[in-house]
Amino acid sequence: RRGMGRLRLGTPGAISPPMPDISDAPSPNFDSRRAPPDLLVLHYTGMTSAEAAVARLRDPAAAVSAHYVVDEDGRILRLVAEERRAWHAGRGEWQGETDCNAASIGIEIVNPGHEFGYRPFPDAQITAVTALVADIRSRWTIPDSRIIAHSDLAPARKQDPGELFPWKTLAAAGHGLWFEPAPERIAALGPALTIGDEGLGVIVMRAGLHRLGYGLKPGGSYDDDTRLTVEAFQRHWRPARVDGIADGETRATLMGVLQLATAESPTGVLN
C-alpha cells in the first residue's frame, strides 16, 4: 500500500472527545422525514455573527434551518430534532439522492465564510464538531462516504464549509474518508486536465467523480460544470489549491478516495 499512497478510513475504535452540552433553540422550520437519515452534511453559517445565523435559522419567513449549530467556542445548539427533516441542503445531489434534506442531518458551523472574512476554525469548535458527529453516528447508520460538505452536493451554488475545514482531522478521528497519494502515483497521471480538454482522461475523471457521489454526469468534455465539481472535490480532499484544474494530485486523490468509498460499500459498488 505504501506505493499507492496513505489510505485512511479514520481510526477504528478511536476515542471520541467528551460530548459537550447541547442547548435547545427550537426552529419551526422543519417537516417530516420519509426514511431514517443516512447522510451528514457540514456547512458554515456564512454570516457576520453566530447570533445573526441562529436568528435566520429560526425565522419562519426565512424557511431555512439545520439540526445543529456549533459556535466557535464549541457551544452547540440543537434547532431541529434529528428525527425531523430540517431545511439546510437545498437543491443538490449526492450518490443519486436528490432530496438531500430528507436523507440528511445538517450541522452549521459558525464561520463568516468567504463573503465576510473566511478564517480557520478554532480547535474548540472542531473538537465539538467531532464529538457531535460521533454522537450522531451512534444513533444512525451514516457511512464515511456520506459525510460530506454542502459544496459536495451543490458545487455550482456552494463553497461551504470550505478549504479551511480540517477534513483530515475529522477522518483521523474516525469520521469520513481521506487519502494522500504517493508522489509516484501523482507523476504517473501525466499533464493536468482543464477547461476545454476532451478525451479519455476527462471521461475517466468525470466517471470517477460521479461514482463517488457528485451530480456531474459522465461525459468527455471538461466544461464549466466539470470545473465546479473539481473545485468542490478539491475543497474537501485536496484543499491546498482550489483552482478547478484536475492536476495529477487531484486525480490521484480522487482514485484513492473512490477506492475507499467502494471498499466501504456493502456490495463493493457505488452507483
What is the pLDDT, as a whole number, of residue 106? 98
Strands 104-109 and 39-44: parallel
Name every residue whose Cβ is closer than 8 Å to that of residue 183 and which is 6 or more positions away in sequence: none
Whole-angstrom Cα distance, residue 264 to residue 258? Answer: 10
| Cα angle 118, 107, 124; round to 5 | 60
* Per-residue pLDDT at 44 exceeds 90: yes
d(C-alpha 104, C-alpha 82), whole Å: 9
Q: Is the pLDDT of residue 6 over 60?
A: no
pLDDT at 19: 73
> Of the candidates 123, 27, 113, which has an alpha carbon nearest to the alpha carbon of residue 72?
123
Q: What is the pLDDT of residue 8?
A: 45
Considering only residues 131 and 7, tell me which one the structure prediction assigns the higher pLDDT.
131
pLDDT band at 268 (very low <50, low <70, confident <90, very high): low
Q: Report the share of the chain in percent with pLDDT over 70.
A: 91
Residue 13 has pLDDT above 50, yes or no: no
**Mean pLDDT value across residues 134-145:** 96
Predicted confidence band of residue 200 (pLDDT cuts 50, 70, 90)? very high
* 171 burial level (CB within 10 Å; 0-12, 13-18, 19+): buried
Q: What is the pLDDT of residue 3?
A: 31
Over residues 69-109, the pLDDT tens digits come to 999 999 999 999 999 999 999 999 999 999 999 999 999 99
What confidence category does residue 126 fall into, taking pLDDT thresholds of 50, 70 and 90? very high
For residues 173 and 250, what is the distance between their CA atoms, to the nearest angstrom? 23
| SS3 per-residue string spanning 57-86 | HCCCCCCCCCCEEECCCCCEEECCCCCEEE
What are the CA-CA distances from residue 152 to residues 147, 210, 261 (Å)? 10, 11, 15
Query: Taking 60 as the threshold, does the pLDDT of residue 10 lie above it?
Result: no
Q: Which H or E run contains 31?
A: strand 30-32
259 has a pLDDT exceeding 50: yes
Kindly report the pTM of this predicted structure: 0.92
- What's the mean pLDDT in 208-230? 97
Q: What one-character-per-residue DSSP string does 172-222 give?
A: HTTSS-EEE--HHHHHTT-S-B-TT-BSHHHHHHHHHHHHHT-SPPP-SB-
Three-state secondary-structure class, residue 28: coil
Q: What is the mean pLDDT of residues 43-67?
A: 98
Among 215, 266, 253, which Cα is nearest to 89's?
215
pLDDT at 18: 72
Query: What does DSSP assign to residue 246?
Result: B
Pick from 188, 191, 222, 185: nearest CA to 205: 222
Mean pLDDT of all residues belonging to the chain: 92
DSSP 241: -
State how beta strands 6-8 and 178-180 pair.
antiparallel
**Per-residue pLDDT band at 20 (split at 50, 70, 90):** confident
pLDDT for residue 28 is more than 50:
yes
The SS3 of residue 270 is coil
Catalytic residues: 108
**What average pLDDT does the segment 199-224 reach?**
97
- Which pLDDT does position 85 carry in this prediction? 98
pLDDT in tens, 52-63: 999 999 999 999
